[in-house]
Structure 1
Amino acid sequence: MPWQLIGLVEERIPALPEPVRLERIDLVLTLIGAAPADRAQQYLTGATPLTDEETFLVDLVTMSAAMLSAPTP
């Protein structure tokens, strides 16, 4: 399953040079894994998140898409 997801993402950003494309995918997957874990930690410690769940998830998707589609450095 993870490799299928990576393949689907990679198909949508083919114009990037391969090293940049692969690194961006790795960074996005790190963000997608770390952000919900950080959110869960906030709940466990009793901290109040800055946004509600729907806003958090929509923003995570928006940020991920922006990371993948940013111009090549």
Structure 2
Amino acid sequence: MIESEDSEVQTFIEDVVVRDDDTPEILEAVRRTVFEHYPDADERMMYGGIMFSLEEDFGAVFVHTHHVTVEFS
């Protein structure tokens, strides 16, 4: 897993890893893709998920019980 510089995000990631079998891999793939394309992106917790931003928010990933949602704005 890519470690987050944001402590809230890192705690969220660790909680997902502990409680679920499948979604951590999807969460990691989304985060890795974002940072491969936008290495300067920031991430923070908001609305119960991870928000990605450059100058403005551009997307988010939300982990649910049986699925993961990826949103772009």
TM-score greater than 0.5 by the shorter chain = no
Give the structure-2-normalised TM-score: 0.37
Larger helix proportion of the pair? 1
Larger strand proportion of the pair? 2
Instruction: State the structure with bigger RCO (CA 8 A, min sep 6), 1 or 2.
Output: 1
Give the structure-1-normalised TM-score: 0.37
